[in-house]
Amino acid sequence: MKLDKKDLLLYAITDRSWLNGMTMEEQLKEAITGGATIVQIREKNMNYSDFLEEAKSLYKICKSSNIPFIVNDNIDIAREINADGIHVGQEDMDAKDVRAIIGDKMILGVSASTVEEAIKAEKNGADYLGVGAVFSTSTKKDADSVSYEELKKICDAVSIPVVAIGGITYDNMDVLKDSGICGISVISAIFAQNDIRKATENLKNKSEKLFKYHKMPVALTIAGSDSSGGAGIQADIKTMTVHGVFAESAITALTAQNTTGVMSVFESSPEFLSEQLDSVFSDIYPNAVKIGMVSSCNLIHVISEKLREYNAKNIVVDPVMISTSGSRLIEEDAIKTLKEELFPLASVLTPNIPEAEVISGIEIKSTEDMIKASKIIGDNFKCAVLCKGGHSINDANDLLYSNGEFRWFYGKRIENNNTHGTGCTLSSAIASNLAKGKNLEMSVLEAKNYISGALSYMLDLGKGSGPMNHAFSVHGEYK
């Protein structure tokens, strides 16, 4: 596994001293959810078999979240579980010997407290340095004290990333600003806290500011390409961008289409879609995922498998079946697979009235039918459902069914025939808001307001049902 300096932003080291009624696995899950970027297992007083079992368990958790897992000192444990890396101190094996054993497949971290040790470690194959103790600490009583000046000299002397360690807390970490480190390594500042997740969040947010990491929420769209630019991948990327979210994509199909209809569809192979998803999740991990047009069973299988493999969060599924122009976009047998494999993974489904009829199996002619259909869908697939109005049922009022409760989102019908891509755009806006950390109700409310603004611009392009102006709020010469 290749190490990126961003992985060292918040380096969490496990310690059994502060389990406080929780298991190590429970604590680690809280820390990862809070934002730990790399994890090191540290067990000084555990027998080999118990250490091995614990390492296997914790590594599994890290792997599911795409977090690098490092074993402290014990090279045999690291090799047996195929860990991402090994960290050794000055009193352990020489870095050169460790590198000779593990080759280039594992990350090698080395402790250092002087410029000389740092330079030697880099020369002998270290991928990163753990430098400290920068403050007094009870967990590393034998560690040499490293001043700010020495820490800065070490960072200047080597080209590999440096993480500071030793007694670091939320309150004293400001002192490390501008030292050249890539991040901090902590134990008690996470695992000794009553609220591990919150403590980790606070440390990560502060680290990003102190060590000059410019972060941005990330959303992934898995959908088909629209050559006319009004729907599909193109609409999703535009929507995510104006929401201040970094957009990634995995293309399920290329379409030849415009405002009058879809001429042809050229589907991605399952293998290529799988490679796209691996590329995205293994590098820039998305905070939310929007799924649009998926026309065949084989592609649905791939998406379902990859979302589970990478433990994807905030999944918005827009069950695209028929285009705005009336063209059918999904194979009949794929609808069944969609229900079985993707819907149960969804945080929220966003069907329009015709789609909700197909999914629920009932005809929808009134608001009461919308309520009934939403409950059937939500209860069957154990997810939230946003049943979109329009389609002559009401004045663009949408119904959210979530956790057994209903909420109407009221809207005034906008007399605009150019509605190409409204479904794609709404679901992408919801995913964008979820990626930014907003709850589902607020995400839907703001997405609905965004759609209203895009439609109200009254953009008029094409000979059929034209697109909206996704950038209506951006000021420029075109306005």
- The catalytic residue among 387, 424, 448, 466 is 424
- Among residues 34, 292, 389, 423, the one annotated as catalytic is 423
Is residue 67 annotated as involved in ligand binding? no
Catalytic site residue 419?
yes
Mark whether 297 is an active-site residue. no
Dihedral sign of CA atoms 355, 358, 361, 364 in order: positive
d(CA 77, CA 322): 53
Does the active-site annotation cover 230?
no
Q: What is the 3-state secondary structure (H, E, C) of 225-261?
A: EECCCCCHHHHHHHHHHHCCCEEEEEEEEEEEEECCE
Give just the sign of the alpha carbon dihedral 431, 432, 436, 438: negative
Q: Is 44 annotated as a binding residue?
A: yes
138 is in an annotated binding site: yes
Q: Is 206 annotated as a binding residue?
A: no
The DSSP secondary-structure symbol of 143 reads S
Paired tokens of 182: 């890539």
Say how many CA atoms lie within 13 Å of 317 toward its Cβ.
30
Helix (H, G, I), strand (E, B) or coil at 166: coil
- In angstroms, how far apart are the furthest CA atoms of the chain? 77
Options 200, 421, 425, 436, the catalytic residue:
421
92 annotated as belonging to a binding site for a ligand: yes
- Contacts of 296-299 with C-beta under 8 Å, sequence gap 24+, read 296/267, 296/331, 296/334, 297/331, 297/333, 297/334, 297/337, 298/270, 299/252, 299/267, 299/268, 299/270, 299/273
Quote the CA–CA distance of 440 and 446 in Å, as a whole number: 10
239 appears as a binding residue in the annotation: no
How many angstroms separate the CA atoms of 396 and 157, rounded? Answer: 63
72 annotated among ligand-binding-site residues = yes
- C-alpha distances out from residue 298 to 223, 295, 302, 320, 344, Å: 14, 9, 7, 16, 17
Instruction: Confirm whether residue 111 is marked as ligand binding.
Output: yes
Ligand-binding site membership of 375 (annotated):
no
Selecting among 238, 290, 388, 436, the annotated active-site residue is 388
Residue 167 counted as an annotated binding residue: yes
Is there a contact between 471 and 242 (Cβ–Cβ < 8 Å)?
yes
Annotated ligand binding at 324? The verdict is no
Alpha helices per DSSP H over 382-439: 422-435
Active site residue 421: yes
Q: How far apart are CA 441 and CA 10, in angstroms?
A: 31
What three-state secondary structure class fits 108?
A: strand
Report whether 227 belongs to an annotated binding site.
Answer: no
Asked if 422 is an active-site residue, the reply is yes
Q: Is 352 annotated as a binding residue?
A: no
Catalytic site includes residue 33: no
Binding-site sequence positions:
40-44, 72-73, 92, 111, 137-140, 167, 187-188
Catalytic residue IDs = 388, 419, 421-424
Binding-site sequence positions for Mg(2+):
73, 92
